[in-house]
A and B are shown apart, each in its own frame.
Chain A
Amino acid sequence: GNSVTQMEGPVTLSEEAFLTINCTYTATGYPSLFWYVQYPGEGLQLLLKATKADDKGSNKGFEATYRKETTSFHLEKGSVQVSDSAVYFCALRDGTGGFKTIFGAGTRLFVKA
Chain B
Amino acid sequence: SAVISQKPSRDICQRGTSLTIQCQVDSQVTMMFWYRQQPGQSLTLIATANQGSEATYESGFVIDKFPISRPNLTFSTLTVSNMSPEDSSIYLCSVGGQSYQETQYFGPGTRLLVL
Between A and B, 30 residue pairs with Cβ closer than 8 Å are: A31-B100, A32-B100, A32-B101, A32-B102, A34-B103, A34-B104, A42-B108, A43-B92, A43-B107, A43-B108, A43-B109, A44-B43, A45-B106, A46-B1, A46-B103, A51-B101, A89-B42, A93-B96, A98-B31, A98-B56, A99-B99, A99-B100, A100-B48, A101-B33, A101-B94, A101-B96, A101-B104, A102-B45, A103-B42, A103-B43
Q: How many A residues have CB within 8 A of the partner chain?
A: 25
Docked Cα-Cα span, A89 to B37, in Å, equals 12
Give chain A's interface residues, CB within 8 Å of chain B: 29, 31-32, 34, 36, 42-46, 49, 51, 89, 93-95, 98-106
Which A residues are CB-close (under 8 A) to B107?
43
Q: How many B residues have CB within 8 A of the partner chain?
A: 24
Docked Cα-Cα span, A105 to B40, in Å, equals 9
Binary flags per residue of B82-111, CB closer than 8 Å to A gives 1, else 0: 000000000010101011111111111100
The listed residue (B31, B43, B100, B103) touching A89 by CB distance below 8 A is B43
Which B residues are CB-close (under 8 A) to A105?
41-42
